[in-house]
Amino acid sequence: MGQISIILIAGLLFLFSVEPPQINNISDMQVILWTIVLTGVPVLIAYFATFYVARTFPADKEENLPKLYLLRRFMIVFECISLAAYLCNLYLLNLPALIHKYFAFFPMDQLRQTLALLPLLIGLICIRLAFYQVNRPQPGHYREITTLQFKFLLFPLLPMFIYFAAIDAVQWLPYSAKAFIFERPYVLIGLILPVIASAYILAPLLMQFLWKTEPLTVSSALKRKLDQLTKQSGIKYRDIVVWQTGSLSIANAAVAGTFPWNRRIFLTDALLEYFTDEEIETVVAHELGHIRYRHIPTYMLFSLFYLLSYPFFYVLVEEPLVTYFGGSQILPTLCWLTFLIVYFVFIFRYLSRRCEHQADLYAAALTAKPEAFKTALMKLAVLNSVPKSIRRFFEMFNTHPSIHRRIDFINQWIEQSTTIQRYKNYLLEVKILIALLPIFGILALMLLR
């Protein structure tokens, strides 16, 4: 989960959790004007800051990449400023009341309220545009960059929209049915579980819907090599597709889909253009490693485990704090947000880095071309303007280890180091997660009753 996703989800939490005061002495036009000002100020600050950095440290010089990457890490500061301005829109200007007033014709209350998220969305996209121009040496069309960022935003938002639509649908049920659902928190959690599962299962279809893709040419020599590679691995998938990135020249690969019948491997057009067939084989083998070790179902279970573990956090931490501070309105949201950040930023990303090492090991072993894989990793760093080495502290916030750390891991495999042997089996963290799921599920059900 990227920083921008955390900020968006934080905005959603505040939007639906705190009741803003009723304001009678401010006109609708004043609310609109102040919304524009509060949305634009963080964006202007970000543009001035990145313009100065771009002039001082040109991105086309490799020695500047670590400095620019460090600036990218501080992008979260500008996003937090944007979130703070958005909170002013919510609680000082009562923006949701304006939304409900002018969009009352839309019958679904929860989905209607999400329209109040637009100022935050616009602010975050504009901030990302500013930082993109600093970190990418090649120019990109603003329209393509804006579209790309907007589509990235849809991934964390769409499951939430589906959930809100389900809540709105419940409102149309008879009173007895509504009372049964809303008086039992575990029923509401039961509505979220299939939404999360469907997000992972239907991810390939969503990706193909959002981005322009086309099947990898069947007659190409590369397609035959990749088919042979997947046959050697024994892993089944539906298709290999090429993601068209246009002038953005993004070099990347991904796998999506929980089941073989809908699983797809995605390769960007820049990857096919700048990498040799051997290098592409190793990159695809890395994605096959994610399938081999069932990382996608693991991530899905990890997301479900968040819902099962939150009741314990509520009983042990949140409820005592709220009681101590006299039933504060904003405190529950802050507690919820804190748990979300700790769970998905620190714990999840630690697990993700371990899974990446495991997929790297599988790629080197399956292809028996570790040198080609190391070259591919170096090319990925250059084409995507990513520094090859990152300090351990900043790596804690990444889903992937640094390029140098991944290459060092492969070198240890070449030297047959005993320290990496544990990566050949399912990770201990995954085994613990699977063992705790039913236990936490039963205990959480007892707490919620």
User: The sheet that has 264-268: what strands, in order across it?
Assistant: 213-215, 239-243, 264-268, 253-256
pLDDT per position as a tens digit, 286-341:
999 999 999 988 988 888 888 888 888 888 888 888 887 776 667 888 888 888 88
The pLDDT value recorded for residue 1 is 41
- Mean pLDDT (the chain) is 82
Other CB atoms within 10 Å distance of the CB of residue 210: 17
- SS3 call for 22: coil
Q: Grade residue 284 by pLDDT with cuts at 50, 70 and 90.
A: very high
The pLDDT value recorded for residue 174 is 77
What is residue 5's DSSP assignment? H
Q: Is 94 left (phi over 0), alpha (psi -120 to 50) or beta?
A: left
**DSSP 3-state helix, strand, coil percentages of the chain (rounded to 5)?**
75, 5, 20
What is the CATH topology of the domain spanning 208-296+347-448? Zincin-like (3.30.2010)
Tokens at 21, concatenated: 């005061």
The pLDDT value recorded for residue 442 is 74
Cβ proximity of 205 and 231 under 8 Å = no
Which of 369, 361, 222 is CA-nearest to residue 282? 369
- SS3 call for 254: strand
First to last CA, the chain: 31
Burial of 282 (0-12, 13-18, 19+ CB in 10 A): buried
Residue 1 and residue 22: Cα distance in Å, rounded? 35
- Which residue bears the tokens 């046959």? 231
| Beta bridge partners of residue 268, listed in sequence order | 243
Residue 272 and residue 276: Cα distance in Å, rounded? 8
Phi, psi (rounded to 5 degrees) for 256:
-145, 145
Listed by start position, the domains of the chain span: 3-172, 208-296+347-448
Cβ proximity of 375 and 333 under 8 Å = no
Contacts with 71 (C-beta within 8 Å, 6 or more apart), sequence order: 50, 53, 131, 134, 135
Q: What is the mean pLDDT of residues 243-264?
A: 85
Residue 79 and residue 343: Cα distance in Å, rounded? 20
Burial of 416 (0-12, 13-18, 19+ CB in 10 A): exposed
pLDDT at 179 over 80: no
Query: Of 38-47, 56-65, 243-252, which range is least confident?
Result: 56-65
Question: Which secondary structure element, helix H or strand E, spans residue 132, and what is its range?
Answer: helix 118-135
Beta strands in 274-430 (DSSP E): none
pLDDT at 139 over 70: no
- SS3 call for 43: helix
Contacts with 386 (C-beta within 8 Å, 6 or more apart), sequence order: 65, 69, 380, 403
The pLDDT value recorded for residue 279 is 94
- Helices (H), strands (E): how many in the chain? 22, 4
Residue 259 and residue 297: Cα distance in Å, rounded? 9
